[in-house]
Structure 1
Amino acid sequence: MRSSWNIMCTSVHALFLRELKTRFGEYRLGYLWALLEPVLQMAVMLAIMGYLMHRVMPDISFPVFFVCGIVPYSLFSNIATRSLNAIEANRGLFSYRPVHPVDAMLARSLLECLVQGGCFVVLMAGLWLLGEPMRIDNIPVLLAIWMALALLSQGVGFTFMVLGHAFKAADKILPLLVRPLYFASGVMFSLHVFPPEFRYLVDWNPLLHAFELMRHAVSPNYPLYDISLSYLWLWALSSLLIGLLLYKAREPAILRS
């Protein structure tokens, strides 16, 4: 008899393939479009922003600075917002006992992690080939940051999934709460622009810690002010725990509906 863990892994794998085919299977380039779409979008944004801003970042080139903000932000934003309809999109499958809503959420998050992770690698490799200064020997640190960010996004995703099921208006309201984080998380600014007495206004945000740590990992001379990997992991594990507890409390109601 297979263990519960094996059954769950099989279910997540099947839902992952279904999600991949649903999102990208109809395009002429097939599954290659899963990577090309975000890479092309962000390459265009990078070209436009780099041309418009021409600003000097502290010990880091603007393209590297921007990629280390926009790609991880897209990971968080996409996991959070796509979780809202994860239940509705897979409701017909929940009649099969091995399939649970948590499996659908994990499959969506896994696909998003692979897409955005691949996008980050391609863009950074392209910038490196173009001669942008960066360090590529801090891979373990980068992986630790990406893992913490993925867990943080997953925890928020579980919470949004539960709220999206409990309140019909949530799919309209919650995305509006995510969008301001683009401006409050350091995607377009460095923490050094804030005077020390005003940094408390933004340094509570774990996304800011993730982006600044990522920039420091690829450019060690990039300054860090009141930024902590431990703080990021504390938020990640706390959000995941809260999300799982909310899901566990609402799972019977979700399955009954």
Structure 2
Amino acid sequence: MADNPTVPRGARTPWQVTRSVWYAMFMREAISRTMADRMGWFWMIFEPVAMVGIMVAIRSFIRGDQLVVNAEFIPWLIAGLMGFYLVREGMIRGMGAVSGNKALFAYRQVQPVDSVLTRNFLEGMLRTFVFLIFIVGGLMLGQDMYPDNAIRVMSAWFSLWCLGLGLGLVTSVSATLVPEVGKIISMISLPLLIISGVILPLNSLPHWLLEYLMLNPIPHGLETLRLGFFENYHVVPGTDMLYFWMFTLTLISLGLLMHLRFVDRLKAS
């Protein structure tokens, strides 16, 4: 392979430097995330298990399974919870990425955006692994967790992953420059779970209210994810992945622009 005339002999290309930075930051985040806290893996698995158990108990009183058309309630709930946690953790973990890696910005090769990208990638991998555990565990317990359309499931999962990245890019800048924003974002996490149709289906809501709730992109991704598991599932009216991706790409673009614009303030914060 011919040498790149723009790069001095023996020097690394910008892509090689960036790749080395990402790898080093990824390994640092992975060790911190999985080994620093002995209960880290336990809480990643226990939180959705506890939520599923609580909702199954509530179902026995309100018969929520009768509101889900052509889908078993427990697999439907697990898919929604895991998809929502993927987005939420991308947003929450990204929000603390800049402050958590502040010491590394003394190296000119390391940029604040690198911390968000590597942290989101790690979180997505961990959530994917936990989701696979739930799928295998559900199948062993006799639940219908085998997807009818695996390609659609993977596509919807990747889409939700990207939405979490977009939110993380935006919140990482906003919460670092204005700390009050981080508190507000943490407060809206539970209401967002409810209005996203994670624990109860949105189909039973009035049409006028559903029009406003579907402005939230998360239900679009969750309903598509569930459709991949149950091919005859009746998705919420108005589900549109084109709208989802327009929203997601706008967030990613906005987040990258914010990092470019406020890079010096993020390093100095």
The answer to whether the aligner puts 1:20 opposite 2:30 as a matched pair is yes
Paired residue type of 1:131: G
Residue 227 of structure 1 aligns with which residue?
Answer: 239
Question: TM-score if structure 1 supplies the norm length?
Answer: 0.91
CA distance in 1, matches of 2:20, 2:86: 24
From 129, 132, 136, the equivalent of 2:140 is 129
Cα-to-partner distance string for 1:154-194 (whole Å, 9 max, x where unaligned) = 11111111112211322222222333211110111213212
Shift of 1:52: 2.4
Do the aligned partners of residues 110 and 242 (structure 1) sit closer, same or farther apart at CA in structure 2, a change above 3 Å counting?
same
The answer to whether the aligner puts 1:249 opposite 2:237 as a matched pair is no
CA distance in 2, matches of 1:207, 1:162: 21
Task: List aligned pairs for 1:40-79, cutoff 5 A.
Answer: 40-54=46-60, 55-56=64-65, 57-79=68-90
CA distance in 2, matches of 1:87, 1:150: 19
Residue 102 of structure 2 aligns with which residue?
Answer: 91
Residue 5 of structure 1 aligns with which residue?
Answer: 15
From 206, 215, 218, the equivalent of 2:226 is 215
Task: List aligned pairs for 1:97-246, cutoff 5 A.
Answer: 97-224=108-235, 225-246=237-258
CA distance in 2, matches of 1:226, 1:201: 11
Q: Which has the larger radius of gyration?
A: 2
Do the aligned partners of residues 248 and 61 (structure 1) sit closer, same or farther apart at CA in structure 2, a change above 3 Å counting?
same
Do the aligned residues in 1 keep the contact of 2:26 with 2:119 (CA within 8 Å)? yes
Cα-to-partner distance string for 1:102-156 (whole Å, 9 max, x where unaligned) = 1111111011101111111111221122222244242221121122211111111
Do the aligned residues in 2 keep the contact of 1:35 with 1:119 (CA within 8 Å)? no
Instruction: Report the 3-state secondary structure (helix = DSSP H, G, I; strand = E; otherwise coil) of the residue aligned with 1:180.
Output: helix
Once the two structures are overlaid, the 10-residue window that deviates more, 36-45 or 9-18, is 36-45
Do the aligned residues in 2 keep the contact of 1:35 with 1:115 (CA within 8 Å)? no
Structure 1: tracts of 5 or more residues without a match: none
**CA-atom RMSD, angstroms?**
1.9
Paired residue type of 1:212: E
Q: Runs of 4 or more off by more than 4 Å in structure 1? A: 33-36
CA distance in 2, matches of 1:37, 1:179: 17
Q: How many residues align?
A: 253
Instruction: Report the 3-state secondary structure (helix = DSSP H, G, I; strand = E; otherwise coil) of the residue aligned with 1:133.
Output: coil
Do the aligned residues in 2 keep the contact of 1:63 with 1:127 (CA within 8 Å)? no
Paired residue type of 1:132: Q
Question: TM-score if structure 2 supplies the norm length?
Answer: 0.87
Do the aligned partners of residues 41 and 179 (structure 1) sit closer, same or farther apart at CA in structure 2, a change above 3 Å counting?
closer
CA distance in 2, matches of 1:179, 1:60: 24
Cα-to-partner distance string for 1:20-50 (whole Å, 9 max, x where unaligned) = 222221355xxxx655432232223212321
CA distance in 1, matches of 2:118, 2:242: 27
Do the aligned residues in 1 keep the contact of 2:148 with 2:230 (CA within 8 Å)? no
Do the aligned residues in 2 keep the contact of 1:134 with 1:219 (CA within 8 Å)? no
Aligned identity (percent) is: 26
Instruction: Report the 3-state secondary structure (helix = DSSP H, G, I; strand = E; otherwise coil) of the residue aligned with 2:70.
Output: coil
Structure 2: tracts of 5 or more residues without a match: 1-10
CA distance in 1, matches of 2:187, 2:50: 24
